[in-house]
Structure 1
Amino acid sequence: MAAVGLLPVVTTFAVFCLRAIEQARLSIAYSGRNAKIVASHPGLDVGPDGGSAQALEDLAAFRAIPGMTVISPADPTETVAATRAILEFKGPVYMRTGRSPARRVFEPGHVFEIGKGEIIRDGEDLTIIACGVEVARACDAADMLQQEGISARVVNMATIKPIDRDLIARCAHETGAIVTAEDHNIYGGLGGAVAEALAQTVPCPVEFVGVKDVFGASGEPEELADHFEISAPFIAEAAKRVLARKRQ
């Protein structure tokens, strides 16, 4: 379809996108086709379907494909805006969309720009950089930290590739410590992308909140978030650890 000028938009569960990664690599990215892959039911958000259906590796896998843009919106409003943006964008895109009803982070009319992160809550002591469902949890963690006198900046980094290196460097320079939060394996996803950017710009202490190199399990999404330590209290604890390292 893309070869004759049409715009194919393919959608299925994120775990099934991993099954078709060879086709995404060769038939879309390698061939330079303008096609979009929209992956639903990612990460622990799949819930009761269990570990076999929970894609915790997809961001890493698709981020490694040359020329592939990778996006993970924070809420329904941003998903609508991001969908419009990728349809206008020329080139291969992999975009995650959630399964469970997501808490609203942005108001209607939110503007989405591919390749740009945004500060949605300012702070001075450290920065929490999150994507997808973890953005709302990062905001909750910032509230918890504020009660303890810790000022946390929250950044929504919906575009994981190409990542907003300038914003990451700015946050590292201004706050001196970073926590990343994602519903994904700690290897190769948002955390890896942020660490790579910091290594080449403004190195600083980093803590990674994500699934710690294990497969998922069956349960309700919020229960799983607690079990696998990606819920707001664990983001707040990571913030305290990175702040302690910053102050050493």
Structure 2
Amino acid sequence: MRPLDSFARRATLRRSAGLLGAFRFEQSDPARFYGALAADTAAMVADLWAGTTSSPVAGRTVLDVGGGPGYFSAAFEAAGLTYLGVEPDPTEMHAGPASEPGSGMFVRASGLALPFADGSVDICLSSNVAEHVRHPWRLGNEMLRVTRPGGLVVLSYTVWLGPFGGHEMGLTHYLGGARAARRYTRRHGHRPKNDYGSSLFAVSAADGLQWARSTGALVAAYPRYHPRWAWWMTKVPGFREFAVSNLVLVLRPT
């Protein structure tokens, strides 16, 4: 079985539309949005594991780098995995189920220096975090380090020039990140949570692919929220920066 075979069957236009519809609740009802995203992510990781190892995912350990409020923990544990969340911001950890009893194990730490031994987890996931750190590929290298040989690393991030690259700043990021942040501040009276240059950075699809290929561990790359028939966009330089929106890099350490 090829790495993407199982997931490709679920990557339909209906799934894409459902996730896009849930996105509008990110600010007003985060539990609704992140609950849907968590369920989809757990299923995606299970499919990728099956495609790369030809074995069931239940019983494995998943390390979620940048787990935030912990919405993913229940979805992964329902799939039979042991969930470990890493989050550097204590306010994020207390903004959701991460602070509730029985919600999995969480560690306050930086993804750039993970407090785990080499090869200590089966799966390492980072969902929509790389665009928020100044050194995203140092994060990627740490994920590879802590994942055992034959395990799975799934690094997914928002591409800067895609339609969601500006996050809550909307499409104004096409005017430039600093200018978009100033415009947002004038309009709302405060800096954006995802503030260009401090908590949001311009990460390209080309840079991610170059890093992943340089590791020798890349097994697949595709646009996370697109239907299967649109995955070809990842292969087109230039165009992919605007069309891919969110790039998934799937790596298998050796």
Same fold at TM > 0.5: no
- Please give the TM-score of this superposition, normalised by the length of structure 2: 0.31
